[in-house]
Amino acid sequence: MSTILIIEDNIDIQENISELLQLSGYETAVASNGKEGVRIALESLPDLILCDIMMPELDGYGVLHILSRHEETLRIPFVFLTAKADKFDVRKGMTLGADDYITKPFDESDLLTAIENRLRKSQSQGTYQNKKNDINALFQNKQIKNYSNKDIIYRDGDTPSYAYFLNSGKVKIQKMNKDGKEVIIELCNDGDFFGYWSILENNNQQDSAEAIEDSEVWLIPIDEFKKNIEESPEISSKFLKLLSKNLLIKEHKILEMAYESVRKRIANALIEMCDKYGEENRLKMKIPRELIASMAGTSVETAIRMLSEFKKDNLIEIHSSEILILDYDKLKNSPF
Amino acid sequence: MSTILIIEDNIDIQENISELLQLSGYETAVASNGKEGVRIALESLPDLILCDIMMPELDGYGVLHILSRHEETLRIPFVFLTAKADKFDVRKGMTLGADDYITKPFDESDLLTAIENRLRKSQSQGTYQNKKNDINALFQNKQIKNYSNKDIIYRDGDTPSYAYFLNSGKVKIQKMNKDGKEVIIELCNDGDFFGYWSILENNNQQDSAEAIEDSEVWLIPIDEFKKNIEESPEISSKFLKLLSKNLLIKEHKILEMAYESVRKRIANALIEMCDKYGEENRLKMKIPRELIASMAGTSVETAIRMLSEFKKDNLIEIHSSEILILDYDKLKNSPF
DNA sequence: CGGCATATTGAAGAACATCAAGTAAAGTGG
DNA sequence: CCACTTTACTTGATGTTCTTCAATATGCCG
């Protein structure tokens, strides 16, 4: 019989899940906060852990981080419970080594099948699985650095000394041409790695990174990074995936820049920001016009003109400097 | 004392090198063609092999390929001698596992230091080095396929079944938007891998590949490719490098598309083709105008107009459909 | 040599960038 | 907290760049 540890600060949800699992034939243990969760996990070594992300004292990420540093708990399947359908929390969780996630409110059968799947997987893998360990190994000698809005993390031309992992906040990667015009190459969110490209190519930085809100960045010394890439197939395979994904996105962007109208490019920029930073197709944030302009590769004035057009067409609303997307689908798909 | 095998069909050069090396205290063996070279290499197991690329019967690539399939000769440092300063032959050679190359005519001291370096490296590496084997392992179950101009190798949206290596010829990678306008994402030359991006991302092809002249392509079955990537650090590290290099190029292209004038973009397209396919800053080939246009992300008419401007400015010459670059530097650097 | 693909030139107009000028918002120092 | 400065945003007018449509020219292949 498998034991499942539930770490969740909301007592109602905690009891609800516990009951459900007991009815399904699992043994359960419960903890109401992160610290307690870690303690119980280390004591009782459950077969699977369900853990809320948002908790006082020690949050879900913290729990995962601590447990993945202990040999005994390293291989226990770890499933996040997350209240919002926030893609980015999820991505960060997966990066840190979570095995799955379930969004609340959840369907009972979804929860049960997710748990069964994870348990089955972990049993069939036997002692082989050490993914958590590997990814976390990257962070073993990390330095943590905080940046606020407009702080520059690295510059085009710098000799790279770190690979970067964005633990929280938002960062833009950009590139400037000779006339001083800038284009946003990529927007980073929490859970993203960045600035490692030139390391792998043994080159200077070819772009610069700047925080666009308060951000906590983990700095991985370049030697450490290279060593881990070389020694761990898990890590190198992860970065192969990241790079190729990134490459396909860039290809798409080249096509867009080459032939799409400014109107379309601005629309795409809004959609991209919404996908990255918004919630449920609603982007509700303060966005400098210059950011939008350089995502679309156009001038600030033109960007503003397009925004007014969208406003007139009832696709967006503008409240002082906050932009609210009203019709995500129409904005995304209209052929212009 | 180290023995060096010289494989070179030109007797003058052969004797010249042999003498030089003997004076420097090496023992030498010579072969006047590829087949003889392989035979002698396998018999006498030299400490280093110098090998011409262009030879009758069996060329340098063939020699390298055969020797890297034998356990005994696998780790012998292999240095190419190449007559033309052709970067692409070199790239292909390195991909296949050559350790260095020297262009003829060469400076004596260059040759000697290159040899010394290689010998030193190979001694310090001991039994560890098996790079040649690893890269060649990729090709163990390859299929060879020939394409002629305008043949499509794979299409956007296809489920990938192979990774591709261009052994000879030229291939363009392109992407089309909804209006049917095409942009060239990349030009491939012999020695290039392509079409592996989506494999690593477990995705459908996001671009299409088309031969632009008669080409011999090596097809690596997708499972084979994945297996090799997972199992060989050498290979995965090679592809990490390729991908990140590629990524940086794409970033640059995004910036170019966003802000450079058409004139500049056409100039860059010519420069890129010259770097890839030309010789000594001279591009002398039949180039369809449409290719130039879609490299620069513009219409054929505009591309032609720019070519006429360049002709008027004495930067290029146009002979029927062949384009000859007269002033490489000016074309590359003029700020427009 | 005719027919089809490719290349070239012209003219008109759409799409954008730039310059200029004004308004709103956000810091800043007393 | 208010005047003041600075920064960000917005709109208009103008001109350039590039696309598009159309017509003609050239090369290419059987």
Query: For A128-149, how does the pLDDT look when each residue is reduced to its tens digit (9 = 90+)?
Result: 444 456 788 889 889 999 998 8
B56 touches chain A (CB under 8 A): no
How is residue B325 written in tokens? 């670059």
Cα(B41)–Cα(B35) distance, rounded to whole angstroms? 10
Residues sharing a CB contact under 8 Å with residue B124, sequence separation 6 or more, in sequence order? none
Please state, rounded to an integer, the average pLDDT across all residues of chain B.
87
Q: How far apart are the first and last CA of chain A?
A: 59
Q: Does the pTM exceed 0.85? A: no
Cα distances (Å, whole numbers) of residue A142 to A136, A198, A274, B254: 10, 19, 30, 32
Protein-contacted bases of chain C (C-beta within 7 A): 6-11, 15-20, 24-26
Which nucleotide, over all strands, has the C1' atom closest to the CA of B302? D18
Which band of pLDDT confidence, cut at 50, 70 and 90, is reported for residue B129? very low
pLDDT attached to residue A89 = 65
Between CA B301 and C1' D20 the distance (Å) reads 10
pLDDT attached to residue A270 = 93
Between CA B87 and C1' C16 the distance (Å) reads 40
Higher pLDDT, B10 or B184: B184
Residue of A nearest to B298 (CA): A258
Q: Which residues pair with A208 in a beta bridge?
A: A174
Among the residue ranges A179-188, B24-33, B116-125, B206-215, the one predicted with the least confidence is: B116-125
pLDDT attached to residue B133 = 61
Q: Please provide the DSSP assignment of B206-244 as one string.
A: SSEEEESS-EEEEEEEHHHHHHHHHH-HHHHHHHHHHHH
The arrangement of strands across the sheet holding A3-7 comes to: A27-31, A3-7, A48-52, A78-82, A100-103
B249 touches chain A (CB under 8 A): no
pLDDT over 90 at B101, yes or no: no
Protein-contacted bases of chain D (C-beta within 7 A): 8-13, 17-22, 26-28
Work out the number of other CB atoms within 10 angstroms of the CB of residue B330. Answer: 14
Q: What is the pLDDT of residues B262-299, one digit of tens each?
A: 999 999 999 999 888 877 666 677 889 999 999 999 99
Q: What is the pLDDT of residues A26-85, one digit of tens each?
A: 999 999 999 999 999 999 999 999 998 888 788 888 888 888 878 788 888 888 887 765
How is residue A81 written in tokens? 């419970």
Structural domains of chain B, with CATH: 3-134 (3.40.50.2300), 140-245 (2.60.120.10), 262-333 (1.10.10.10)
Cα distances (Å, whole numbers) of residue B135 to A104, B72, B233, B235: 48, 17, 10, 6
Among the residue ranges B13-17, B66-70, B258-262, the one predicted with the least confidence is: B66-70
Contact residues for strand C with beta carbon within 7 Å: A 179, 261-263, 297-299, 301-302, 320-321; B 287-290, 300-301, 304-305, 307-308, 318, 321
How is residue A217 written in tokens? 């960045």
3-state secondary structure of B247: helix
Which band of pLDDT confidence, cut at 50, 70 and 90, is reported for residue A87? low
